[in-house]
Amino acid sequence: MTSGQLAERMQAGLWRENPGLVQLLGLCPLLAVTSTFVNGLGLGVATLSVLTCSNVLVSATRRWILAEIRVPIYVLIIASLVTCTELIFKAWFPALDRSLGIFIPLIVTNCAIVARAEVFASRNGIVSSLFDGLGMGAGFALLLMAIGFFRELVGRGSIFAEFDKLLGGDPLGGLVVVDGGWLLAVLPPGAFFSLALAIALKNYLDGRREAAHAT
Amino acid sequence: MISRVAKGGLTLAAIAAVCTTLVAATYRLTSERIAANERAWLEQSLAPALGGGDYEGSLTESRLVLEPPHGLPGKDDAIIYRAYSGGAPVAALFAVTARGGYAGPIRILVGVDVERTVTGVRILEHRETPGLGDGIEASRSDWVRQFDGRSLGDPPVAAWQLRVDGGEFDQLTGASVTPRAVLKAVRETLLYFDAHQEEIFDMPATAETR
């Protein structure tokens, strides 16, 4: 696999086939936890690590796995990785774990992960599966962070609040831009609006680039 | 030549064994830290309801679990943490469930000292509307702090109501259902403490396994 192909895999995950923006996979956690940037970052990193590890493991074992039993094996691998991730969060980032709650164990059901195992990792080598996992995971994580940043800014008027969840110590208010905010943004409808805006922005940018190529 | 079915079964078993080992190893690495984190978190969330009162030993070791029906608010287990100093009771913390909130049960912590005065009230868990009902959280507004130092004589029991209901306690702007539920649970806890103060401090702690 050439470096050009690897870069192409990364680009696919980050933009062209972004799991959240284009494939619209894993929307439940995406919509539920992105009320702040820190939450988005936490779940994004957890999903990224599970996705990368599961891609590598599925790719490494693909020669011995019969087609009939591949799905139970993917489930087994993903569930074990998620359990480990949850234990690691509970041990080292307890505050973030409390804030993300059920959505860490629910990474198991994130269809983006089993989709990459089935569509990519089971048919490709370890290195390209690794990069596919990194690209797709990073694409998902960046989207979570972007939506978290936007909703927190509009809904609470702050930037990077609650970083104590990651670092420990006293509660941090982050940079307060304005006091209070437009409440709707942190409520569930705000999540849908934010995602819609993000998809619209991506389509607009793609459309403009295509138009530039055409002329 | 082994059959396809046997081969599949063996692969599945081998991968299950590897995955189980992975999870078991992570558990061994993290279990001590997780237990320590949980204890620290509990003590840390209990402390504010004690209002800085002095006590000896660990609150979690004096834990008393009461199964319903127990006479305290809520239909699930009520937990009482007791604080002692020099063997004499100082205060009790009640983890009880307030019913009648806007979105499900609200788990609250009520601290009462031996003089039957509230040392502090804190919200442990709730799903009230962000921006409205979540003002009951001490980090969002000072609302819960109005209970500090009050008792069933101050104001009289009949006035342990919200102002909208003719009592002496403030509601939250735009939300009265949530504060009403919390207030009612605090009042009922104080009434329970009045009736059972002696037995609460005399009962042995519930075993840790519970």
Determine contact: A80 vs chain B, CB below 8 A: yes
- Give yes or no for residue B134 having a pLDDT over 90: no
In 3D space, the residue among B63, B127, B140, B138 whose CA is nearest the CA of residue B94 turns out to be B63
B22 and A66 within 8 Å at the Cβ level: the answer is no
- Give yes or no for residue B98 having a pLDDT over 70: yes
Residue holding tokens 């284009």? A22
Average pLDDT value for residue range B159-173: 90
Determine contact: B131 vs chain A, CB below 8 A: yes
B30 and A88 within 8 Å at the Cβ level: the answer is yes
pLDDT at res. B210: 44
- Give yes or no for residue B130 having a pLDDT over 80: no
* Cα of A15 to nearest chain B Cα, Å: 32
* Cα of B30 to nearest chain A Cα, Å: 6
Largest alpha-carbon pair distance within chain B?
Answer: 86
Query: Which residues in chain B touch residue A66, judged by CB atoms under 8 angstroms apart?
Result: 4, 7-8, 11
pLDDT at res. B178: 92
Q: Range with the lowest mean pLDDT among A41-50, A167-176, B54-63, B71-80?
A: A167-176
A170 pLDDT tier (thresholds 50, 70, 90): low
Cβ distance A176 to A157 under 8 Å? Answer: yes
pLDDT at res. A106: 87
A94 and B37 within 8 Å at the Cβ level: the answer is yes
Chain A residue with Cα closest to B30: A91
pTM of structure: 0.76
- Give yes or no for residue B111 having a pLDDT over 90: yes
Determine contact: B19 vs chain A, CB below 8 A: yes
Q: Range with the lowest mean pLDDT among A117-126, A192-201, B40-49, B52-61?
A: B52-61
C-alpha torsion sign, points B130, A88, A58, A72: negative
B96 pLDDT tier (thresholds 50, 70, 90): very high
B41 and A183 within 8 Å at the Cβ level: the answer is no
Q: Which of A25-29, A174-178, B83-87, B88-92 has the highest mean pLDDT?
A: B88-92
Instruction: Read off the pLDDT of residues A51-66 as tens digits, 9 standing for 90 and up.
Output: 999 999 999 998 888 8
Residue percentage of chain A with pLDDT more than 70: 95
Which has more pLDDT, B74 or B53? B74
Which residues have C-beta within 8 Å of that of residue B191, sequence separation ≥ 6?
A: B152, B157
Determine contact: B173 vs chain A, CB below 8 A: no
Residue percentage of chain B with pLDDT more than 70: 98
ipTM, 2 decimals? 0.79
Q: How many CB pairs under 8 A join A and B?
A: 63
B38 pLDDT tier (thresholds 50, 70, 90): confident
pLDDT at res. A98: 83
* Cα of B42 to nearest chain A Cα, Å: 12
Residue percentage of chain A with pLDDT more than 90: 40
Which residues have C-beta within 8 Å of that of residue B132, sequence separation ≥ 6?
A: B172, B174, B175, B178
* Cα of B17 to nearest chain A Cα, Å: 10
* Cα of A1 to nearest chain B Cα, Å: 28
Query: Which residues in chain B touch residue A71, judged by CB atoms under 8 angstroms apart?
Result: none
In 3D space, the residue among A55, A198, A80 whose CA is nearest the CA of residue B21 turns out to be A80
Chain A residue with Cα closest to B6: A66
